[in-house]
Amino acid sequence: MLQEFLTVRGYSVVSLNGTMNLDDRREVYKQFAGPVRIMISTEAGGEGLNLQFCHIVVNYDIPWNPMRLEQRIGRIDRIGQQHDVKVFNFLFSGTVEERVHQILLEKLMIILQDLGFDKIGDVLDSSDSERRFDDLYLQAILEPERVEDRLNKFISSFSEIALEEKKSLSLLQITVALDTATTEEISQNLLPFWLEIMVTNYLKSHNGKVIKELYSYNIAWDDGFTYENVTFHQDPSEQVSSRMVTFSDPKIQSIYRQVPRVHPQQSIPHIVIQNIPRDIAGVWSLWRFVIHLEDEEKYLSFSYFLHKNGKMLLTTAKTIGEAIARGEFSIISESQADLKTCEIIETEVKSHGEDHIHDIKSKNKINAVDFYPVLIVNVEASDV
């Protein structure tokens, strides 16, 4: 109805909803990034899309959970945005709902600013929080005379959770310098050997040529380009003048981009975790980013949790990761990877990582960036 209303008034409009498959979503995205001026979306547009080419959000149907508002705005207010983002929220004037919304956001933002958080989603994001916001609004509507008391209790509880999260992050930020033995062990990692196997096998199966010399290789790529006297790992004790080929090499990057992050026949463990909300079920994953600078490599690791309802819950991912680290889980089965789910996660991981890499890029020259999953598991809560 809204699309028809706008179309007859001369606006070009596309719509997006949760019933669309991945190809249909991509087509809508392509049209909106091109000539179409307006995209009408259900909650499905709040995740997985990078929309920094537009800068106006109209929240026609306000969700009670403010984190869902943050998700919508986050699709637009991100790296690459060249304009001031404008957000218009539609609320019924003079209602209890309007009052709760305004007071709640105002006081929660004060708490976040005092503790150094950017948004509510840095503190809460689980479906348990969704129920808490829903209960707050429902009780406020049913018993408007007690709205102040319920708001104060909710805000007090949020403040305690935010403070605990701040303490937890402070502990995680403590770093310890590596000793000499550990540094030496890391420097002798197997990455160069894996790189050698990947490149030589690729060339053999793609009409390239590989000639092994005593300490080096002569390589002919499938496009006719050649590398002479190159090596993938060098022993300082060997006086050899071979050129070192590393992961940052454009040819290596081209090969690696063709390698899927998850193999279609890869087995994914299914685990059950105690002491988490019972409706938690989905895919948890741990990803590592390798940032290749001129003189060193930086590593970033992040955990993600994609709920079965399609929501990406970062704080819940942290809770699950801590439970796994403590061994508070049981493996009940294995199943093959769902590639469409993994593709959705990979898109979100890449987008999230770009925000962190941008800070490093502002201070260093980055030669290449790689990211890959360290662990992927299906997760559900224990009934016990």
Tens of pLDDT along 84-119? 889 998 888 888 888 788 878 787 778 777 777 766
d(CA 28, CA 33): 9
> Average model confidence (pLDDT) for the chain?
79
Domain residues of the chain, as ranges?
A: 2-89, 96-172, 186-257, 267-381
How many whole angstroms from its chain centre is CA 38?
26
Length of the chain as a residue count: 384
User: From the CB of residue 188, how many other CB atoms can be counted at a distance below 10 Å?
Assistant: 9
The amino acid at residue 176 is: V
* Model confidence pLDDT, tens digit, residues 167-183: 665 544 443 444 445 44
Q: What's phi and psi for 23, nearest 5 deg? A: -65, -40
Number of C-beta neighbours around residue 30 at 10 A: 11
CA-CA distances (angstroms) from residue 230 to 69, 250, 252, 349, 370? Answer: 53, 15, 13, 34, 22
The residue to which tokens 């948004």 are assigned = 119
At residue 173, the pLDDT reads: 45
* pLDDT confidence of residue 175: 39
As given in the structure block, the two tokens for residue 338 are 């769902």
Residue 156: pLDDT above 80?
A: yes
Question: Of the spans 60-64, 213-217, 304-308, which averages the highest pLDDT?
Answer: 304-308
Tokens of 81: 């945005």
Is the pLDDT score of 124 beyond 80?
Answer: no
- DSSP designation for 245: P
How far is the C-alpha of 216 from the C-alpha of 200, rounded, in Å? Answer: 12
What architecture does CATH give domain 2-89?
3-Layer(aba) Sandwich (3.40)
pLDDT, position 172? 42
The reported pLDDT for the residue numbered 174 is 41
Residue 244 φ then ψ, to 5°: -80, 125
Mean pLDDT lowest among 22-31, 67-76, 237-246, 335-344: 237-246
Amino acid of residue 274: Q
Q: Is the pLDDT of residue 329 over 50?
A: yes
Per-residue confidence (pLDDT) for residue 39, from 0 to 100: 92
What is the mean pLDDT of the segment spanning 249-260? 77
Question: DSSP code of 265?
Answer: T
Rg (C-alpha) for the chain, rounded Å, is: 25
Strand-strand pairing, 226-231 and 281-293: unpaired
pTM metric for this prediction: 0.49
DSSP 8-state code for residue 189: -
CB of 305 closer than 8 Å to CB of 283: yes
